[in-house]
Amino acid sequence: MIKPIGSDQLVPLFVDNQSERESLLQEANQLPSLLVSSATAANAVMLGGGYFSPLPGYMNRADAINVAETMHTTDGRFFPVPVLNLVPELAEIKGAERIALRDPNVEGNPVIAIQQVKQVNAIEVVSDEQMATMTAKVYRTDDSQHPGVAAFNSQGRHAISGPIEVLNFSYFDTEFANTFRTAVQIRDAIEQLGWERVVAFQTRNPMHLAHEELCHMAMDRLNCDGLVIHMLLGKLKPGDIPADVRDNAIRTMVELYFAENSAIVTGYGFDMLYAGPREAVLHAYFRQNMGASHFIIGRDHAGVGDYYGAFDAQTIFDEEVPAGALEIEIFRADHTAWSKKLNRVVMMNEAPNHSKEDFVLLSGTRVREMLSEGCAPPKEFSRPEVAEILINYYQSL
């Protein structure tokens, strides 16, 4: 199986020993505490699960800026985006060497992690200019209407760095008990299945027929043993379909249209950045950590609006990712759609002598309208069983 990044073994920060974890929770109740942002809590989940291995915790200001500018920490460690604990106020933790981080996404704000802050310069002010630099490098825009830019810049200007001990996985392993898996758990599942060549598919939406066929194409062309459908379970933008509905739709598709033991459906706890190319690199980074040897990246991967070019999330691996930083291989996909001429799903760039009218293409807006009206999209666009699940959801709104 492919090795994790920067180490022979994953370095998950979740405290797996129950008695040790209970002891730390008791300690946490006596520590100064901070209610962190949703992004910081999601970073804790990813650090805890080994997805961000081998990072030991939240970055300091210098590392975050260097990562934004060069995709390396100041000591040369590869990482594609800053991982920060940004807060607006510090009064509650003044003078503390250890602090409890409280989860904003769970009722009662339980402690999600303990952070050590006794090192020199553990708490630093990030200037507006430094925030602007990181924003521009990671998101390629400073537009406050970009959901990722807005979320990043709304957290505060005090960066608290230092190693963390993660005590739970927020709401992900309770609300999505059958789907949420850590990188450690997915590696174990891949090993038990005996897979060596594994392709991962990222989704924050239900999978239509074109997505399904793209996964089959990748598996066949790469001669893969299996597929990991790895869905985002965290915060999305308004209007996106909830994770439980996506989960139901995808599981139904896999059960009916994939060979037995050829695909597993899992999810991870993270808030979508909508950072396009940089987020594509992050997605590849943690897919290697979870054991995938290959990763599908299509048009406008992790994008939003018109902020990124259609294939920027692919070309960044040629133009900006340092040589040797990743072992995982990228399967570069074009838009896939049903060809009326060939009577099957194809990649559009592999279909000569086709015009736009030769494909079955529906906008997201049109699909939502059809589903809201109780009308299933054509079978060339969506499996009927998937359409039924989505119709039930839209009609329940």
For residue 205, indicate whether it is catalytic. Answer: yes
Catalytic residue among 204, 251, 332, 368: 204
CA angle 104, 107, 110 (to 5 degrees): 65
CB 104 within 8 A of CB 38: yes
Catalytic residue among 157, 205, 248, 251: 205
For residue 168, indicate whether it is catalytic. Answer: no
Q: Known catalytic residues?
A: 204-205
